[in-house]
Chain A
Amino acid sequence: MLISQHEQTLDQLQGLVEKHGDQRNALIPILQDFRDQSGQITDYAMQAVANLLKIEPSEVYGVVSFYSFLSERPQGNFVIRLCRTISCDMAGKQAVARQLENDLGITFGETTKDGRFSLEWANCMGVCDQGPAMLVNETLYTKVSPEKVGEILDSFKSRA
């Protein structure tokens, strides 16, 4: 079981190296695609990509841990990022945060037990005129209010 998972990871990474090249500057595009396909960038994936690009695994880890949109932790199918920066703060992000925690039953930095939702803070998302702002994967929600949270979450519950 474990072996086949490793094999699958390796296959995936080899495909991505073919797509992006085996130079150092291909590392982040490879990791981004791998994240989109698999959610989590596992220790094994970091090892394997290091081998393929002929760099140290520690360098790959250094990169993965640096960027907030790359993660070595397991992530839910839907990563919810709520903006905590000033304009969204003034627009009422705290109440939205509380509602998200209540509705999901987790706190920020956690993933729901069923592995569907992760909840994270994010910094300014570039829609400060329409706060509070929230990203769910790549979809941006603006003017989010506590009463809209349930509706937004429901719209994802039916999706894979």
Chain B
Amino acid sequence: MIQESIRNQITFSQIAAAEGLKAGLQITPEALIDQVRESGIRGRGGAGFPTGLKWAFTAAEKSDKKYVICNADEGEPGTFKDRVIFENWADLVFDGMALAGYAIGADEGIVYLRAEYTFLREKLEKCLAERRKKVLLGENCLGMKGFNFDIHIHMGSGAYVCGEETALIEALEGKRGEARNRPPFPAASGYLGKPTLVNNVETFAWIATIMVKGSDWFRGLGTEKSSGLKLFSISGDVESPGVYEFPMGISVNQLLTEVGGRGAKAVQIGGASGTCVPSAEFDRAIAYEDVATGGSIIVFGQQRDLLDVAENFLEFFEDESCGQCTPCRIGNSKLLEGVRLLKKGECSAKYLNELCKLAETMQIASKCGLGQSSPNAFLSIVKHFRKEIFNREPVAV
């Protein structure tokens, strides 16, 4: 019942199953990590940590047991590219995971698949079974003696915060998905206390692709600080919503032209935890050095009330906060109350300033990325749409 989401040419279509894995296993683990590093790829899940560095850290840990985890919790509002990757190129993700296992010295891979994607599970299990038959998984994988990498799927149970890597590990361990203090980082002590590498679905697929097309090819695309290509999930007020591949560094304007979203009032980049970019700033670049995103782009047409948007996002965060720390648990409720006052035209300028200060405190004092980024949309909307926010008729209730 899902329709096709792919809207332009996607490089993954050019890569055959196992092609990247075969190429990667021909070089040493060290050389493989160097290739990843040289490509300049940064994590495609949102935080943008350099992947090669993460692999090198995890590889350097001495341990009898290590884990490779594929983060398929994809819960950021507005993102669906990981679903599309699994629907179309699951083999590339599993190739990337096996490459990671080879590089860091792990024999167990786990896909943490969100509960909402249970409908994908059967297909993925079939794909894994096929791979075992072809010895692309399991004992002496691809004929390499002693390389026994296998993958299993662990279903999520519905909690956005479990996309945060330490909360995800807690969930895998059978606990509430409450983020851990870091350090220690998962690279040193992750699942069951063992060194653990967590990467996004798309990151793994790109690694398999880079092994085929080369790190220079990847590095040559995008910008200097944000190399390569990326999948974007486009929704909202556009003519052709769906998944697109673009080079990193594309401007908001260019992107809107490609997807049929010209004339937009604002664009939310990075999902509910991202920022709201007003039309005056549509020349900005979508890249780690400017506006970063895990790929979620939500377009708002002229008719949209941005306070409705802020309210929807804050309802989301109030609902999804794990409740462990006060700035996030109470802060999101307070911001939500504030937005509802603004909507009714009943918020004083002084109180709005206080809310902004609270929002800034949340960014600093929250324990994990959820609370740290949940005020971003609110702050950017207040900053760029002050006139609209204050120009409201008091509503009779």
Known: A85-B272, A123-B316. 13 other contacts (CB 8 A): A25-B192, A28-B171, A67-B157, A67-B159, A68-B158, A85-B78, A86-B272, A86-B312, A86-B313, A90-B237, A127-B5, A129-B234, A129-B241
The answer to whether A129 touches B175 (Cβ under 8 A) is no
Over the window 111-149 of chain B, the binary record of Cβ atoms lying under 8 Å from chain A Cβ atoms (1 yes, 0 no) is: 000111111000000000000000000000000000000
The answer to whether B173 touches A24 (Cβ under 8 A) is yes
Q: List 22 A-B contacts (CB under 8 A).
A: A24-B173, A25-B172, A27-B174, A29-B154, A66-B159, A67-B177, A68-B159, A69-B115, A85-B272, A87-B77, A122-B158, A123-B316, A126-B75, A126-B80, A126-B114, A126-B117, A127-B83, A128-B77, A129-B234, A130-B5, A138-B118, A140-B1
Chain B stretch 65-112: residues in CB contact (< 8 A) with chain A: 74-80, 82-83
A124-B159 contact given A66-B176, A85-B312, CB 8 Å threshold: no
Q: Is residue B245 within 8 Å, beta carbon to beta carbon, of the partner chain? A: no
The answer to whether A129 touches B5 (Cβ under 8 A) is yes
A25-B174 contact given A68-B158, A141-B1, CB 8 Å threshold: yes
Q: How far is the CA of A15 from the CA of B121 in the complex (A)?
A: 22
Q: Is residue B349 within 8 Å, beta carbon to beta carbon, of the partner chain? A: no
B-binding residues in A (CB < 8 A): 23-29, 31-32, 59, 62-63, 66-70, 84-87, 89-90, 122-131, 135, 138-143
Q: Is residue B309 within 8 Å, beta carbon to beta carbon, of the partner chain? A: yes
Across the interface, B75 reaches (CB within 8 A) one of A27, A123, A135, namely A123
How many residues of B are counted as interface, with CB atoms below 8 angstroms from the partner's CB atoms? 56
Q: Is residue B218 within 8 Å, beta carbon to beta carbon, of the partner chain? A: no
Using Cβ atoms and an 8 Å threshold, which residues of chain B touch A31? 157
Over the window 159-179 of chain B, the binary record of Cβ atoms lying under 8 Å from chain A Cβ atoms (1 yes, 0 no) is: 110000000000111111100
Q: Is residue B213 within 8 Å, beta carbon to beta carbon, of the partner chain? A: no
Using Cβ atoms and an 8 Å threshold, which residues of chain B touch A143? 3
B109 CB to nearest A CB, Å? 15
The answer to whether A63 touches B2 (Cβ under 8 A) is no
Using Cβ atoms and an 8 Å threshold, which residues of chain B touch A124? 75-79, 316
Using Cβ atoms and an 8 Å threshold, which residues of chain A touch B5? 127, 129-130
The answer to whether B159 touches A128 (Cβ under 8 A) is no
The answer to whether A142 touches B309 (Cβ under 8 A) is no
Nearest 10 CB-CB pairs, A to B? A67-B157, A27-B174, A69-B158, A68-B158, A129-B241, A128-B235, A87-B235, A66-B176, A124-B77, A69-B115
Using Cβ atoms and an 8 Å threshold, which residues of chain B touch A140? 1-2, 116, 119
